[in-house]
Amino acid sequence: MSLQNDRPRSKAPLFVALLLIVFAGLAASAWYLRPRFESDPPTIALLPNADALGTAPLEIQVADAGTGLKSIVATLSQGGAEIPLASEQFAQPVAEKKLTVALAKVAGVKEGPAVLRVRAKDNSLRQSFSGNEALLEKNVTIDITPPTLELVADDRYVNFGGVGVIVYKASADTAASGVKIGEYFFPGFAGQVEGHPDHFVAMFAHPYNVEPGTRPRLVAADKAGNTREIGISYELKDVRYKKSTIALSDNFLQNKVAPLLADASARAGTPQDVFVAVNKALRKVNEAKITEVTTKATPKKLWDGAFAQLSNSKVEANFADQRTYTYNGQPVDTAYHLGYDLSVTKHIPIEASNGGTVAFTGDLGIYGNAVILDHGLGLFTLYGHLSSIDVKVGDTVTKRQPLGKSGETGLAAGDHLHFGVYLDGLAILPVEWWDAKWIEANVTPKLAGQSGIEIHEAQQGARIAAKKSSATKSPGNKSSGKRHPR
């Protein structure tokens, strides 16, 4: 008798096993492909992101942090036409791409309203494997005509390190204008020329650290980034700046230099290292603060007439002296001295050199306790090494009003005033602003609305009159009132 079961074996376990394998495969595939199905579209940014576009390059910045970029297309819709600006397909995904478009060079672009469109797709498998799409659409105005400029009055002579003054007219679409020389920019101010509200005045410097052959340019830009430039010509009068050597003593390094360093470990270095940390690193921080303060100008004139030198003071150190510091006879570091050192007696009252507003008070590192005054139109004065300060930020001051008392705070080897003059962040030659004749000849007539020709004729007449007066007073030309026989 057979005990073998003739019923067919069940195939369910095998089927279940196959299903598990399939599901496991699908799950693994889903896990592997999950990043490819990411849903975040690319990001699109414009630089500049302005409502008006002109001759300045337009930069289109596109990025995708997921599957990477697949394509970018930029067009301009204008007058019923779709004008291609840029198009790029990527064989391999890229995380970011920058495209630069010069509208002035694109055929078919005209001035007037337009719609800028930028489309970008990534390599995601979403959207039926076509990828996520981003669309930036912006209504813009195309303007490729630069503003106009007209120079009304300028200077025939400018001192090296000193200031020149110009008056000019700019078209109504001008958004910013001023004078550029080297890396420096001096903005123009409207509404300051008597009888000519549409005129601009700009004070600029030929910086002490810019080559003599460099010449400035009057620049105007509109909201679309279009620019117009005019060259400014003048004769640069040489000002010879001194070079000096200063020996550093151990007493000065220990008692004046080292305490200026907040970091105790920095004070533990060699005497040379300590001095360089102050003269180079701390000085850089202090100059950056001065620049920050002196580039925020009041757009109107706050001073009146010549600036006043500190009463009874004498100049102990000059502007733009190039100093070499030595220790034990060896050079350690160099620096420019960007002002005048004025001395009288200890703790003498320090006076405002002219009317203005207090723009800064407080500790200024190497300059010690300091006050900075805003005189308007980009002009500032700095008062350093004070022992005490008697004004606060925002105060209005008048000429010769006390600001505090002199001292030797900061990097000072004795009681004195460090007096500096700044124009739009740049240290300039102070002596011009103490000179009433220089101000009357170079600044006052321009603010009074006189043209360049009128100013030149007046200056020429003054020189002729001065020569005649000198000749009349000369002993060889005196007349006795009697007629001499021939």
Question: Residue 435: which CATH number?
Answer: 2.70.70.10
- 475 within a domain of the structure (yes/no): no
* pLDDT on residue 31: 52
> What b/e readout covers 313-347, taking b as 16+ CB neighbours within 10 angstroms?
beeebbbbbebebebeeeebbebebbbbbbbbeee
Window from 113-117, 224-228, 460-464 with minimum mean pLDDT: 460-464
- 430 within a domain of the structure (yes/no): yes
CA nearest 375: which of 189, 175, 172?
A: 189
- 4 within a domain of the structure (yes/no): no
**How confident is the model over 39-59, as pLDDT tens digits?**
889 999 999 898 999 988 999
Q: Are 131 and 167 part of one and the same domain?
A: no
Q: What is the mean pLDDT of the chain?
A: 89
Q: Among all chains, which residue has been given the structure tokens 């101010």?
A: 189
Q: Are 118 and 72 in contact (CB under 8 A)?
A: yes
Q: Is the pLDDT of residue 19 over 80?
A: no
Q: Are 288 and 414 part of one and the same domain?
A: yes
- 472 within a domain of the structure (yes/no): no
- 456 within a domain of the structure (yes/no): no
> What b/e readout covers 2-40, taking b as 16+ CB neighbours within 10 angstroms?
eeeeeeeeeeeeeeeeeeeeeeeeeeeeeeeeeeeebee
Q: Is the pLDDT of residue 430 over 70?
A: yes
Window from 3-12, 115-124, 403-412 with minimum mean pLDDT: 3-12
**How confident is the model over 225-269, as pLDDT tens digits?**
999 999 999 999 988 888 999 999 999 999 999 999 988 888 888
Instruction: Identify the residue with better confidence: 375 or 4.
Output: 375
Q: Are 100 and 204 part of one and the same domain?
A: no
Q: Are 286 and 433 part of one and the same domain?
A: yes
Q: What is the CATH number of the domain that holds 224?
A: 2.60.40.10
Q: Are 211 and 108 part of one and the same domain?
A: no
Q: Are 209 and 304 part of one and the same domain?
A: no
Q: Is the pLDDT of residue 30 over 70?
A: no
- DSSP annotation string for 216-274: -EEEEEETT--EEEEE---EEEP-PPPEEEEEPPHHHIIIIIGGG-S-HHHHTS-HHHH
- 484 within a domain of the structure (yes/no): no
**How confident is the model over 301-359, as pLDDT tens digits?**
999 999 999 999 999 888 988 899 999 999 999 999 999 999 999 999 999 999 999 99
Q: Whole domain around residue 167: which residue ranges?
A: 149-237
Q: Tell me the CA distances in angstroms from 448 to 247, 259, 289, 443, one per residue in order.
A: 49, 50, 34, 9
Q: What is the 3-state secondary structure (H, E, C) of 381-393?
A: EEEEEECEECCCC
- 466 within a domain of the structure (yes/no): no
- The helix or strand, by DSSP H or E, that contains position 338, with its residue range, turns out to be none
Q: Among all chains, which residue has been given the structure tokens 């697949």?
A: 70
Q: 126 phi and psi, to 5 degrees?
A: -70, 175
State the greatest distance between any 2 C-alpha atoms of the chain, in Å, as a whole number: 180
Q: Tell me the CA distances in angstroms from 145 to 104, 115, 357, one per residue in order.
A: 10, 19, 40
Domain-terminating residue out of 142, 172, 196: 142
The model carries a pTM of 0.82
pLDDT-derived band at 9, boundaries 50, 70, 90: low
High-pLDDT (> 70) share of the chain, %: 89
Give the strand order in the sheet containing 43-47. 43-47, 58-63, 96-101
Q: Is the pLDDT of residue 480 over 50?
A: no
Q: Are 337 and 318 in contact (CB under 8 A)?
A: yes
Considering only CA atoms, give the Rg of the chain. Answer: 35
* Distance, C-alpha 466 to centroid of its chain: 42
Q: Into how many domains does the chain fold?
A: 3
Task: Give the separation between CA 319 and CA 244, rounded to whole angstroms.
Answer: 12
Q: Are 188 and 302 part of one and the same domain?
A: no
Q: Is the pLDDT of residue 197 over 70?
A: yes
- Please name every residue paired with 298 in a beta bridge, in sequence order, or none if there are none: none
Q: Are 197 and 278 part of one and the same domain?
A: no
Structure token pair of residue 16? 């279940």
Q: Are 400 and 330 part of one and the same domain?
A: yes
Sequence-distant (6+) residues with CB within 8 A of 148 are: 170, 171, 220, 228
Q: Are 386 and 271 part of one and the same domain?
A: yes
* pLDDT on residue 482: 36
Q: Are 114 and 178 part of one and the same domain?
A: no
- 179 within a domain of the structure (yes/no): yes
Q: Are 85 and 72 in contact (CB under 8 A)?
A: no
Q: Are 155 and 164 in contact (CB under 8 A)?
A: yes
Q: Is the pLDDT of residue 206 over 90?
A: yes
Beta strands in 106-195 (DSSP E): 112-122, 133-142, 149-153, 157-159, 163-170, 174-181, 184-187, 189-190
Q: Are 309 and 366 part of one and the same domain?
A: yes
CA nearest 182: which of 231, 149, 217, 151?
A: 217
CA nearest 207: which of 164, 253, 160, 245?
A: 160
- DSSP annotation string for 69-112: EEEEEEEEEETTEEEEEEEEEEEEEESEEEEEE-GGGSTT--SE
* pLDDT on residue 36: 64
